[in-house]
């Protein structure tokens, strides 16, 4: 078994693989949620779409916790680009805290959907920073 704390390159490869995978999943979850927000003005349609959409708030929260963990590991290991890992850690913490009190359909207002869209954009921007030249997509890193 390899000790990743002794090999920064392997730590970065391993952490980036799982981080990018989780970012893709999270972006997908959040994009589905944003799509529901398009119906916020028509309460009947909004409720119908809400009930038909497979959205897992707990999954999103878990993904943000995972991203906090992986970003923390890479910050400790001084992975490149360090600024992107720090940005991911702050974003993940903020998003986790944001979603936690949203427990009822009534909590999902236009402002909430707008904030979720901003999270999507920020998460995508961090992902692009982590996807540096030469980085393989997650399914090809072993």
Pure H helices in the chain: 8-37, 43-52, 57-76, 82-99, 110-130
Per-residue pLDDT of the chain (142 residues; tens, 9 = 90+): 566 667 788 888 889 999 999 999 999 999 999 999 999 999 999 999 998 887 888 899 999 999 999 999 989 888 889 999 999 999 999 999 999 999 999 999 999 999 999 999 999 999 999 997 444 444 444 3
Please report the pLDDT score of residue 134 as a whole number: 43
| Structural domains counted in the chain | 1
Q: Which residue has the tokens 């981080």?
A: 19
The answer to whether residue 2 sits within a structural domain is no
> Please, are residues 96 and 26 in contact by the beta-carbon 8 Å criterion?
no
Name which of 80, 85, 114, 81 is nearest 23 in CA terms. 85
Residue 71 sits in which domain range? 11-131
The answer to whether residue 140 sits within a structural domain is no
The answer to whether residue 3 sits within a structural domain is no
The answer to whether residue 21 sits within a structural domain is yes
CATH value at residue 39: 1.20.120
**Torsions phi, psi of 80, nearest 5?**
-95, 150
HSE (CB half, 13 Å, CA atoms) of 76? Answer: 12
């Amino acid at each position: 078994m390899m000790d990743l704390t002794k090999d920064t390159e392997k730590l970065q490869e391993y952490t980036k693989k799982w981080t990018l995978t989780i970012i893709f999943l999270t972006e997908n979850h959040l994009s589905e949620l944003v799509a529901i927000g398009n119906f916020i003005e028509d309460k009947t349609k909004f409720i119908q779409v809400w009930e038909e959409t497979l959205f897992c708030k707990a999954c999103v929260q878990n993904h943000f916790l995972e991203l906090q963990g992986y970003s923390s590991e890479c910050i400790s290991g001084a992975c490149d680009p360090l600024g992107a890992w720090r940005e991911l850690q702050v974003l993940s913490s903020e998003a986790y805290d944001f979603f936690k009190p949203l427990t009822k359909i009534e909590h999902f207002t236009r402002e909430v959907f707008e904030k979720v869209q901003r999270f999507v954009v920020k998460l995508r921007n961090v992902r692009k920073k982590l996807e540096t030249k030469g980085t393989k997509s997650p399914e090809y890193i072993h």
